[in-house]
């Protein structure tokens, strides 16, 4: 289950609600070369690794997919996902390029869900409120938001996140229906 959506749209909260509500779901923890933000934990939010280690792991085919984003690399560990998929549905919270790569690799089992903001103004407010980015980075991120939302037609589902609990319920319902299709 691939969940994408612009930075600041509330994906993290939604994924947390999903994991609390449904024990048949597990989240994949990505590797990244970006620095941890305040409060982020290694092994929980991401595995924070060096660029060198990241390239070694690309060479070892350790990533199901990876992409460069804002000058940093992000990748989904292949072995974790493949192991978990035997018993569970795996949630990947990744950006658009990675999501489309997963769909290409697993066309019949990947479900792509885009979480969209109620409005651009709302999103900009949330992003600047987070305070972790400077003005320049905020501008780059807002451009990226428009790009990501333009890719929505390539997704299987688009949900406008007015309320995280409601969005969580909608995603659970999608997963339930998709599982029925594959049984």
Residues near ligand 5GP (CB under 6 A): 7, 30, 34, 65-67, 69, 74-76, 93-95, 97-98
3-state helix, strand, coil in the chain (%, to 5): 45, 20, 30
Supply the minimum distance, in Å, between the C-beta of residue 176 and ligand 5GP.
Answer: 24
| Residue 151: Cβ-neighbour burial (10 angstroms; 0-12, 13-18, 19+) | middle
- Give the three-state DSSP class for 108: coil
Supply the minimum distance, in Å, between the C-beta of residue 72 and ligand 5GP.
Answer: 7
Supply the minimum distance, in Å, between the C-beta of residue 120 and ligand 5GP.
Answer: 17
Which position's Cβ is nearest ligand 5GP?
Answer: 98
Q: Which residue has the tokens 């990876």?
A: 66
Q: Which residue has the tokens 């070694």?
A: 56
Name the phi and psi angles at 63, rounded to 5. Answer: -105, 135
Q: Would you tell me the crossing angle of helices 11-21 and 164-182 to the nearest 10 degrees?
A: 60
Tell me whether residue 125 or residue 177 sits nearer to ligand 5GP (CB atom). 125
C-alpha dist (Å) from residue 179 to 104, 108, 110, 131, 172: 19, 11, 11, 39, 11
Supply the minimum distance, in Å, between the C-beta of residue 67 and ligand 5GP.
Answer: 4
Tell me whether residue 60 or residue 183 sits nearer to ligand 5GP (CB atom). 60
Tell me whether residue 101 or residue 168 sits nearer to ligand 5GP (CB atom). 101
Name the phi and psi angles at 2, rounded to 5. Answer: -100, 120
Tell me whether residue 74 or residue 155 sits nearer to ligand 5GP (CB atom). 74
Supply the minimum distance, in Å, between the C-beta of residue 57 and ligand 5GP.
Answer: 12
Tell me whether residue 76 or residue 175 sits nearer to ligand 5GP (CB atom). 76
């Amino acid at each position: 289950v691939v969940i994408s959506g612009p930075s600041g749209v509330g994906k993290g909260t939604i994924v947390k609600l999903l994991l609390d509500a449904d024990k048949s779901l597990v989240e994949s923890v990505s590797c990244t070369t970006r620095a941890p933000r305040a409060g982020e934990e290694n092994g929980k939010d991401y595995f924070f690794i060096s660029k060198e280690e990241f390239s070694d792991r690309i060479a070892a085919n350790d990533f199901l997919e990876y992409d460069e984003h804002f000058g940093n690399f992000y990748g989904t560990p292949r072995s974790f996902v493949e192991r978990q998929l035997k018993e569970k549905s795996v949630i990947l919270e990744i950006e658009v390029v990675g999501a489309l790569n997963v769909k290409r690799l697993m066309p019949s089992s990947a479900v792509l869900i885009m979480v969209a903001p109620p409005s651009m103004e709302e999103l900009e407010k949330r992003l600047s409120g987070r305070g972790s980015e400077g003005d320049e980075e905020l501008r780059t991120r807002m451009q990226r938001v428009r790009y990501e939302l333009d890719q929505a037609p390539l997704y299987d589902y688009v949900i406008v996140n007015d309320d995280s609990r409601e969005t969580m319920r909608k995603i659970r319902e999608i997963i339930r229906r998709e599982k029925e299709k594959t049984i």
